[in-house]
Amino acid sequence: MLGNIAIYAAFFFTLCAAIIYGGSFFFQRERFLPFARYAYYLKTAAVTAASIYLLWALIVHRFQYAYVYYHSSTDLPLEYLVSAFWAGQEGTFLLWALLAAFCGLFIIRWEREYESPVMFFLLVGQAFLLLFLILFNPFRLMPVIPCEGVGLNPLLKDPWMIIHPPIIFVGYAALLLPCAYAFGGLWKKDYENWASRSLPWAVVGWLFLGAGIIVGGYWAYRTLGWGGYWGWDPVENASLVPWLTCTALVHGILLQKVRPFGYRSNFFFAYITFVLIIFATFITRSGVLADFSVHAFTATGLNPYMLAFMLFYFLVGTALLLFRFKDIPSSPEGEKWYSRVSAFSYTSMLLSISALLILLGTSSPILTGLFGEPANVDISFYNNTNAPIAVLLALVLAFCPLLRWKDEELKVIMRRVRGPVVFALAGLALSIFLGVYSPLKLIFIGASLLALGANSMVLWPALKRGINKSGGFLAHVGLAMMFIGILTSSAMSHSQIISMKQGEAREALGYQLTLISHTVVNDKDAFEIKVERGEREYIANPKMYLAGRESRLMREPFILRGLLRDLYLSPLEERLEFPGETVTLALGEKVEVNQYNIEFADFDFTAHEEETRTFEVGVILNVEKDGLEERVVPTLESTPQGVKSEAVDLPGGVDEVVVDTMDAGQRIVRIRVSAKDSPPPEEVLVLEVSHKPLVSVLFAGSMLLMVGTGLAAWRRFIIYIRE
């Protein structure tokens, strides 16, 4: 009851505050502001109360609430009970509303000129989120109070679950504010000040959204077991696209603060970034990606409301931009193609193209579903379309720090490039020595090394001026290192697949691996593997488990980290290896197996029990050995409890034959011939052993990118508060 009251109260006060702020903004009634603030404080208190109550209900196991029942259980430790808050759709909407409410408090405290427009458009977004919570309520009651909950999805039982969603949603909440500032600037015909006021929020959103993407990539590398950190998963792409447009926005505003360029494009990037965030929410929660991503939610019935949420901001932004388009100052002409202004323009253009291509690929299930069966694009689409863009971005990243705002001769700039070029050539020579021969990969590595050398060269003077002024250069060094890590960890990766029996030692990539034991830990198949190389010895513990609505097989790798490369052990499957020889036969085909001539004559469908839902199919085999001919009929029985094979003796009584599988439609069977006294089947683990070179460079670059962005955000906020 308390949770529902809090949500309804928050929705009511949101509408009140939006109406009052709207009156203050559109009709210039400044005296309304105190009443709007009071309504907003009450709304924030109500959202906070609903959040605290839901968290309390999870911790004390109030299973009468459907959300608590479906996302928690009594055996969960405290940290996972807390993370269950944002494990489901209702919880993520409430988290988003809570974080956005706190952002509004900052606006009330520090903003004056733009308080009314920013708060009005912020409250419209809050109203949509709270409407979602009313329609899809986290405090829905169960028909009967259960004694135990369903529990948390095994895929989410990970420490990264505690921080990953909140990081993403801080970015989502912050990036509504540049959109609101842009709307306010367009309405007021203020084409300059809105940008500098919105820049801190754009940088903060950029920081947290980027950090969430990086954490998600590391989470995937550490827990999903497919050997990568970015698999172009549609749900992850949905967050990447607004991050790219936000990157263009940040660089566009920085350019606008120095030169009168990019006024129109900055307005567009400001609102389209938030529209793309709503689109990411829609595509993740609409159910359209349920068959294409392990991260997607099922449909909730909120699709029309989420579309209305997205269309509101898109249509308002587009209408305002078109209405003011002629009044907005256009960019002056005459800039040289190799100027810093042009480099900023190239950056925005390349990021926009990349975002558009990724958006088209991510939206493919929706687009193809309009004309037939929904389908997803292959990963190669993203790799092939974005590889040339990444090369060009690396080149722009390399030359931009060597350029000045004032006009210079090209030969002066080329003199500055000499050091980075030597550094890049040395790195290319090393790459070729290590076995990279692909021209495209060498071009990308060369461009990335050039970017690393150039940005490292200008970073040191920036650090001497003060670390708070070096954030951008530090972020660029980190990005160049990420590019290098991405290329080397994929281009120079080596893998080998081996099969292992318990107690058996196998060689792979210079290591000796021995499967010691197989146990079940927390509903996961856990394998203990001894890894030896020279005098060093390690114990690896890769795991496999079923997760999700369709019980998908998930693989949790073991990673032995190193400075230059990681050893990555990922379990692919576990199967039983039966003794004997296995063959596949088509109807009428004859083969020789262990000195038996066996002919697949026909199927026998006579045994069938409708009442018990049991049916038995026999396989009629004509068998001949040493002049003895005999017809045998091994069977395959299907029951509600499973499938069971019944072996029959072969002529002579020494061996037997059993049916492993069959396809009656294709008239194909697979049979196995073995001695009657054969040992029982043995468990076999199929393991992928990989070397991932320079993954440490990738993650170190990610950290530098985030640290640099954090320094830039802190500096911008200090300026924002002082102004």
Q: What pLDDT was estimated at residue 194?
A: 92
Share of the chain above pLDDT 90, in %: 34
The mean per-residue pLDDT over the stretch 183-207 comes to: 92
What integer pLDDT is reported at residue 1 of this predicted model? 76
Identify the weakest region by mean pLDDT among 5-9, 299-303, 538-542, 556-560.
299-303
Q: Is the pLDDT of residue 15 over 80?
A: yes
> Looking at the DSSP assignment, which residues form a beta bridge with residue 590?
599
Structure confidence at residue 295 as a pLDDT band (50, 70, 90): low
Nearest to 225 by CA among 695, 558, 527, 693: 558
The answer to whether 446 and 485 have CB atoms below 8 angstroms apart is no
Distance CA 313, CA 280 (A): 14
**Token pair in block for residue 318:** 């587009």
Q: Is the pLDDT of residue 315 over 90?
A: yes
Tell me if 671 sits within 8 A of 657, measured CB to CB: yes
3-state secondary structure of 504: coil
If one compares 292 and 712, the residue with the highest pLDDT of the two is: 712
Distance of CA 353 to the CA centre of its chain: 20
Residue partners of 700: CB distance under 8 A and separation at least 6? 478, 481, 485
pLDDT at 294: 54
pLDDT for residue 287 is more than 70: no
The answer on pLDDT for 226 being more than 70 is no
Helix (H, G, I), strand (E, B) or coil at 28: coil
**Average pLDDT, stretch 289-300?**
58
Q: What is the pLDDT of residue 60?
A: 93
Which residue reads 């349920």 in tokens?
290
When mean pLDDT is compared over 84-93, 489-498, 614-623, the highest value belongs to 84-93
Q: In terms of C-beta density within 10 A (0-12 exposed, 13-18 middle, 19 or more buried), how is residue 38 classed?
A: middle
Exposure string over 458-480, b if 16+ CB within 10 A, otherwise e: bbeebeeeeeeebbbbbbbbbbb
Provide the CA 102 distance to its chain's centre, in angstroms.
26
Dist. CA 399–CA 175, nearest whole Å: 29
Q: Which pLDDT band, with edges at 50, 70 and 90, does 723 fall under?
A: low
Most confident of the following: 31-45, 448-462, 688-702: 31-45
Per-residue pLDDT, averaged over 329-358, amounts to 85
Of 232-246, 558-572, 605-619, the poorest mean pLDDT is in: 605-619
Lowest-confidence segment of 293-307, 314-328, 390-404, 500-514 by average pLDDT: 293-307
Report the pLDDT averaged over residues 218-232.
71
Neighbours of 660 (CB within 10 A): 15
In whole angstroms, what is the distance from residue 289 CA to residue 297 CA? Answer: 8
Span 410-438, average pLDDT:
83
- Give the model confidence (pLDDT) of 542-562 as tens digits: 888 876 555 667 788 888 888
Highest-scoring range by mean pLDDT, 14-23, 521-530, 705-714: 14-23
- CA nearest neighbour of 451 among 701, 90, 163, 268: 701
Residue with tokens 């388009």: 325
What separation in angstroms does the CA of 214 have from each of 54, 240, 351, 584, 633? 29, 10, 18, 47, 58
On whether the CB atoms of residues 615 and 608 are closer than 8 A, the answer is: yes
At 288 the pLDDT is 65
pLDDT of residue 664: 77
- Tell which wins on pLDDT, 197 or 652: 197
Question: What DSSP designation does 329 have?
Answer: P
Mean of all residue pLDDT scores within the chain: 86
Predicted pLDDT of residue 594: 81
Tell which residue, 537, 128, 165, 58, has the closest CA to residue 316: 128
Beta strands 524-533 and 536-540, pairing class:
antiparallel
Whole-number pLDDT of residue 547: 67
Which run of H or of E encompasses 82? helix 78-83
Q: What is the DSSP letter of 435?
A: T
Asked whether the CA dihedral 450, 456, 461, 462 is positive or negative, the reply is positive
DSSP secondary structure letter of residue 260 = S
Query: What's the rounded Cα separation, in Å, for the pair 320 and 573?
Result: 56
For residue 293, what pLDDT band results from cuts at 50, 70 and 90?
low
Q: Is the pLDDT of residue 296 over 60?
A: no
Query: Residue 350, class by beta-carbon neighbours within 10 Å (0-12 exposed, 13-18 middle, 19+ buried)?
Result: buried
- Please count the other Cβ atoms lying within 10 Å of the Cβ belonging to residue 384: 11
Residue the block writes with tokens 């529209």: 275
Rounded Cα distance, 115 and 84, in Å: 35
Where is average pLDDT lowest: 86-90, 271-275, 464-468, 632-636?
464-468
Six-digit token string for 337 = 């193609």
pLDDT one-digit tens code per residue, 121-171: 999 999 999 999 999 899 999 988 888 888 887 777 878 888 989 999 999
Per-residue pLDDT averaged across 502-516, rounded? 89
Count of alpha carbons within 13 Å of 289, Cβ hemisphere only? 24
How far apart, in whole angstroms, are the C-alpha atoms of residue 103 and residue 660? Answer: 62
pLDDT reading at 290 higher than 70: no
Instruction: Give yes or no for a contact between 118 and 107, defined as CB atoms under 8 angstroms apart.
Output: yes
pLDDT band with cut points at 50, 70 and 90 for residue 107: very high
The percent of residues in the chain predicted with pLDDT above 70, rounded, is 94
pLDDT at 87: 87
User: What confidence tier does 431 reach under pLDDT thresholds 50, 70, 90?
Assistant: confident
Give the lowest-confidence range in 10-24, 226-240, 380-394, 701-715.
226-240
Give the DSSP letter string of 287-301.
Answer: STTTTT-TTPPPP-S
What distance in Å separates the CA atoms of residue 479 and residue 475, rounded to the nearest whole number?
A: 6
**Residue 624 pLDDT > 90:** no
Of these ranges, 245-249, 414-418, 584-588, the one predicted with the greatest mean pLDDT is 245-249
For residues 299-312, give the mean pLDDT.
85
Paired tokens of 249: 């926005």
- pTM metric for this prediction: 0.84
Select from 620, 644, 646 the least CA-distant residue to 633. 620
What six digits make up the tokens of 251?
């660089």
* pLDDT at residue number 551: 63
**Predicted pLDDT of residue 281:** 87
**pLDDT at position 18, please?**
95
